[in-house]
Amino acid sequence: MKSRNIATLAAVGIAVLALSLSAFAQSGGREIVTQVPFEFSAGEKTFPAGTYKFVHRPGGMPELQIRSEDGKTGATLGPITRLAQQHTGDAPKASLVFDTVGSQHFLSEVWLPAQDGFLVRTTKEAHEHAVVEVR
């Protein structure tokens, strides 16, 4: 009887582990591709206006990859801070938030569809927000 309980617990443990690994593998990277209509800075780099892919891969070091559509320009930003989803009702759309100081735009937040967001940079001086919604 005791060995049957141990065998049952071991089987349940293996099944839970297998389901967890399967869900992790299927989640893959989270990404958005969008047109940014102005030059912007992210990390230590400045990017010209254009189409970019923003990718977050779960697990490991929390970081965000930015790549231009042609693959010639890119950067990896990290570590980044997770922001709790503040939306209610319909699933939130993906968006990028830029802090605008004068004519300069700094990538501040990245929100992936129906997920928490990521804080990339904080701006201490007075600024406005420019939001680019991903369609």
pLDDT tens per residue, range 89-130 = 555 678 899 999 999 999 999 988 767 788 888 888 888 888
Q: What is the pLDDT of residue 92?
A: 62
In a domain, 87, yes or no: yes
The predicted-structure confidence for 26-51, as pLDDT tens digits, reads as follows 334 588 999 999 999 998 899 999 99
Residue type, 25: A
Residue 53 lies in a domain: yes
Question: pLDDT-based confidence at 21, cuts 50/70/90?
Answer: very low
In a domain, 10, yes or no: no
- For residue 58, say if its preceding peptide bond is cis, omega within 30 degrees of 0: no
Please, are residues 97 and 109 in contact by the beta-carbon 8 Å criterion? Answer: yes
Within a 13 Å sphere around the CA of 53, how many CA atoms are in the beta-carbon half? 15
In the chain, the number of structural domains is 1
Range(s) of the domain holding residue 127: 28-133
Residue 4 falls inside a structural domain: no
pLDDT value at residue 8: 35
pLDDT recorded at residue 125: 82
Instruction: Dig out the tokens for 78 from the structure.
Output: 């990290």
Domain for residue 117, yes or no? Answer: yes
Residue 29: the pLDDT is 54
| Residue 43, domain member (yes or no) | yes
Residue at 14 is within a domain? no
Return the bridge partners of 99, or none.
106, 129
3-state secondary structure (DSSP) of residue 29: coil
